[in-house]
Amino acid sequence: MKNYYDILGLDTNADLTEIKSAYRKLSKKFHPDLNPNDDKFFANMFRDINEAAEVLCNAESRESYDKLLQLHQNKFEEVDIALEELENQIK
């Protein structure tokens, strides 16, 4: 799962002004037309930046995304705990 906050370089408590500012800065930096040497990398980054801003700038989308992100992070924490328990059993 993509972390839109990481893509934009923001904390999860960022406000709309911070999101829009990060979007403007990064969309200029990674715009494919301004970086013709590596079209795929910059095109993909530009797409991810746009997607992140689109979701995080919409209050309803952001709320749904935040819930999904939290569930995703909780699953990884559960896996880490299970792996740690297995490692302790092996030792």
Segment 47-81, tens digit of pLDDT? 999 999 999 999 999 999 999 999 888 777 776 77
Are the C-beta atoms of residues 30 and 51 closer than 8 Å to each other? no
So what's the pLDDT on residue 91?
67
Q: How many CB atoms lie within 10 A of CB 60?
A: 8
Lowest mean pLDDT among 34-38, 76-80, 87-91: 76-80
Are the C-beta atoms of 38 and 79 separated by less than 8 Å?
A: no
Q: What percent of the chain has pLDDT over 70?
A: 95
